[in-house]
Structure 1
Amino acid sequence: MLLSRDYLRLLLLSALIGVPIALACFFFVSLQHEIQHAVWTSLPEAVGYHRPPWWWPLPALLLAGLLLAPIVTRAPGGGGHLPVHGLGGPPLGPSALPGVVFAALATLPLGVVLGPEAPLMALGSGLALLAIRSARRAENPKAVLVLGTTGSTAAISTILGGPIVAAVMVVEAAGLAGPRLVVLLLPCLLASGVGALVFTGFGSWTGFSIGALELPSVPSDVNPDAGDFLWGIPVAVVIAAVVSTAHRLGALTAEWTARRTAVRTVLAACGVGVAISAYALITGRDPAEAALSGQATLGTLAADPHSWPVAALFVLVLCKGLAWGISLGALRGGPIFPSVLIGAAFGVGCAGLPGFGTTPALAVGIVTATAVVTRLPVTSSVLAVLLLGDDAHHQMPLITVCAVVGFVTAQLLERPARKSP
């Protein structure tokens, strides 16, 4: 099959669609960041504030709910999948793309506590399916499935640090083995590599922010010792419980918004605004730290974790966790990015424990939260290693252990919920 003419054409088409998907993702992410900067930086400065006041999230999230309500109730595809169900179900068709793009660009920059990864995957799969329809190959269901997956993988690789994380995610999520895995993996790798090259190249050329999940710098520590493992494992259990609880709140919110969806979507968005404003009121810090996807705050936290009061970190976990849980069940976006910040903030907050280093604590928080949300421990480990950069090889044993601990803890906590009527 790998040497057949049809499969080689499929590989060529995968490489070709990686270019327009990367360009679409680049302009999508750049526009999102420009709107976000206008809402949270330029507009407050224009009205006389050096940073957004504590009440700023309230009107912003109200507006987000009002903009999203007609999309989720009337637009094809409902503006995308509910993030509480993961990164999405079957690939969305081209008809759903306008609703997905509008829902993301109109609400994520306003402070919705979700990431851009799910809309990007929907954008990638929709464009790939549009390409195969244009090539008149839509009658082949296998080609439709492979290219839909290829498009979404190419899209998410642009913000997860390159094609490796995206490829590992495909391998782990697909649950395939042998030749079937290779058949799916090769087009995904090819499109992701081409897409990531175009995406980063355009970012360097234009100077626009490309919004990738990255840590510009992390504290440098020695290899984790016995103290880091003794503290890291129980901290991973607690982080898994916290993230699982917020995820359960998302499931309850999804059940609540299933009826009277338009009105309750607006109310849920207002609830997110209240949680973010509460963080700013309690801590006296910038409400943007608890709002949005958390990419910028994660970089700030990792670069200088000792500048954050421990109390502020745990208030961030509480308020952002509540806002994230509500967003999961009512709004539209990706579930991964905010959970990474929640886990990292909790881990760094525990770094003052005797014998628990800052970088090991950061690593524990990142990998545990990601493993709980994605239920992909290998992907979570690879992502954590890439985020930690040069110091990652020191933290690998702790990362892999805590990925398993977080995954198993989440499964055990979820089992009673599955059994309950």
Structure 2
Amino acid sequence: MAPTSAADPQLRQILAGRGYRRLLLLAALLGVPVALVSFFFVSAQLALQNLVWEDWPEDLGFDRAPWWWPLPWLLLAGLILAPVVTRMPGGGGHVPAHGLGGPPVGPKALPGVVVAALLTLPLGVVLGPEAPLMALGSGLALLAAQLSRKPLDAMNGAVIATAGQTAAISTILGGPLVAAVLVIEAAGLGGTGMVVVLLPSLLASGAGALVFTGFGDWTGLSTGDLALPTAPPRFTPDAADFLWGIPAAALIAALVAAGMALGRRTEKWIRPQTGLRTVLCAVGVGVCLAVYALVTGRDPAEAALSGQITLGTLAADPHAWPIAALCALILFKGLAWGLSLGGLRGGPIFPSILVGAAAGVVCSGLPGLGTTPGLALGIAAAAAAVTGLPLTSSVLTVLLLGQGAYHQTPLVVFAAVVASIVTRLLRRPQGPAEGAAPGAAAAAGDGPAADPGSGSAAGARPGGGPRPESGPPGPGRDPAP
């Protein structure tokens, strides 16, 4: 308790200062425009996705998208993305193989991020919208800071960028709670530093969530946030669930780690000829999706995209999925996700959650392991493996499970911790140059938070990139030893 008591005078001085009160007000005000832009951004992306994968196949007389449907659309995604990556500032955002988000994205890099996400993710890229949303939030926040009468210093700019990221990511995670936990865990801070960063982030995400929810009701537009339309049935885990659940969580973590390793290898392969090989990478993703549809006779959209819709379908009726189809989904979506991590642009979390959930349902066939516990541990283990944040992953899983969450919490926490440890053990240490994504400097170079000497708050951003000093991993850094 002594460190907390010693920090109280410093914290009181910070909270009482005019500069920090102005920072809190700015954070709360920023949550509104960030949420509005994020709302229409995600709504437009979902509308394009429905157009490509549902409306156009029906217009052509198909009951669902045919097996070959992903091939032309992923080719188009590669052709769109290649000039963005090679010519636009920021390269369309960070490479998702390095984690959830890179350094805060400045205003100059925003057009590339928006074009890459809005025009390629709906075409079937196996990535989620979370990283582009965080980039959008930080870019808008830094733009507002640059336009203010009293420009913020580097440290306060980093805090505002974090608040913008948090406001944006809370819209797709269903509210400010998960985003706030993410800030705490990713920051690796305690005491004064945690409070200083957390309060503006909570205000921004709370204001943003209110606006986001209201606009959804007023406009009737869907945003496809990460939620299960039908919660799994209540089920109390027993000894058998833990007996099978721990090794199952380790297996799922190994699967996710293998996909992330494929992403890093893909990125290295792309670097010498970025434009051409970006297109080839996108085509490779399309081939994986087409083969899934051919092998299973099912809709290729199940393996394409972020997986939010398929996750809801799987959770609503896991027994409707044959084991062979689930294994094919794990294999081909996992391969497509790994390729997308290294060569395309988007967020890494959502597809990994679907892969983990499918693996959990497959493991639920083991004697004594129930379907609901299998689904719960699969989601928690995959989220923890890809983010390196077991607490955030546990909270996210509990919120997703809804009514059945209370009894699953111990198993969820065990799975998240085991997956986090296994991922760290499996991950090979990186050299100093391996963690830096091409274009990262350009992405962050036009905002106040980009200053490497900006103080401890700069390391608190939830999308923070690799830093030379040691410290706990965040979603912007791969969980490394």
Task: Flag whether TM exceeds 0.5 (same fold).
Answer: yes
| Secondary structure in 2 matching 1:258 | helix
1:89 equivalent to 2:102? Answer yes
Q: Would you say 1:15 and 2:28 are equivalent positions?
A: yes
Q: Is the 8 A contact 1:137 1:143 kept in 2?
A: no
List structure 1 runs of 4+ shifted beyond 4 angstroms: 416-419
- Structure 2 portions without partners, runs of 5+: 1-13, 435-481
Match of 1:54 among 60, 63, 67: 67
Query: Following TM superposition, by how much is the alpha carbon of 1:220 offset from its aligned partner in structure 2, in angstroms?
Result: 1.2
Q: How does 1:236-251 map to 2 (within 5 A)?
A: 236-251=249-264
Q: Which amino acid aligns with 2:304?
A: A
In 2, Cα distance between equivalents of 1:416 and 1:124: 31
Query: Which whole-Å CA distance do the structure 2 matches of 1:139 and 1:306 have between them?
Result: 55
AA in 1 matched with 2:163: T
Q: Please report the TM-score for the alignment, with normalisation by the length of structure 1.
A: 0.98
1:163 & 1:261 partners in 2: Cα distance?
37
Q: Is the 8 A contact 1:82 1:332 kept in 2?
A: yes
Superposition deviation, residue 221 in structure 1? 3.5
Matched residue, 2:204: 191
Q: Which residue of 1 aligns with 2:446?
A: none
Q: 2:48, 2:223 → 1: CA distance?
A: 13
Alignment of 1:348-363 (within 5 A): 348-363=361-376
Aligned residue number for residue 182 of structure 2? 169
Residues 136/90 of structure 1: CA separation in 2 closer, same or farther (3 Å cut): farther
Q: 1:4 corresponds to which residue?
A: 17
Q: Distance in 2 between matches of 1:65 and 1:74?
A: 14
Cα displacement string for residues 334-367 of structure 1 (whole angstroms, at most 9, x for unaligned residues): 0000000000001011111111101100001000
Q: Find the partner of 1:340 among 349, 353, 363.
A: 353
Aligned to 2:447: none
Instruction: Please give the residue correspondences for 1:274-353 in structure 2 after superposition, counting only pairs within 5 Å.
Output: 274-353=287-366
List runs of 5+ in structure 1 lacking aligned partners.
none
Q: Which moved more, 1:40-49 or 1:336-345?
A: 40-49
C-alpha separation in 1, matches of 2:157 and 2:92: 22
CA contact (8 A) 2:234 2:403 kept: no
| One-letter code aligned to 2:391 | V
**Aligned 1:266-277 pairs, distance under 5 A:** 266-277=279-290
Q: Is this contact kept in 1: 2:232–2:401, CA < 8 A?
A: no
Q: Is the 8 A contact 1:18 1:154 kept in 2?
A: yes
| Cα separation, 1, equivalents of 2:232 and 2:144 | 45
Report how far residue 79 of structure 1 moved: 0.4
Segment drifting more, 198-207 vs 14-23:
198-207
- Matched with 2:194 is 181
Computed over aligned residues only, the root mean square deviation of the Cα atoms, in angstroms, reads: 1.3
Q: Is the 8 A contact 1:200 1:210 kept in 2?
A: no
**Counterpart residue type for residue 20 of structure 1:** P
Answering whether residue 214 of structure 2 is matched by residue 214 of structure 1, we say no
2:273 to 236, 260, 264: 260
Q: For the residues of structure 2 that align with 1:20 and 1:70, how far apart are their CA atoms?
A: 29
% same residue: 66
> How far off its partner does 1:113 sit?
0.1
**Alignment partner, residue 372 of structure 1:** 385
Aligned residue pairs total 420
Aligned partner of 1:105 in structure 2 is 118
Which one-letter code corresponds to 1:347 in the other structure?
G
Shift of 1:415: 3.7
Q: Displacement of 1:305 after TM fit? A: 0.5
Give the conservation status (yes or no) of the 8 Å contact 1:221–1:357: no
Distance 1:12 1:282 in 2: 55
1:116 pairs with one of 102, 126, 129: 129
- What is the letter of the counterpart of residue 260 of structure 2? H
After the TM superposition, which residues 71-82 of structure 1 pair with which residues of structure 2 at under 5 Å, given as runs?
71-82=84-95
**Deviation, structure 1 residue 160:** 0.7
1:206 positional shift? 1.0
Distance in 2 (CA, whole Å) between partners of 1:287 and 1:298 is 14
1:130 maps to which residue? Answer: 143
CA distance in 2, matches of 1:21, 1:57: 32
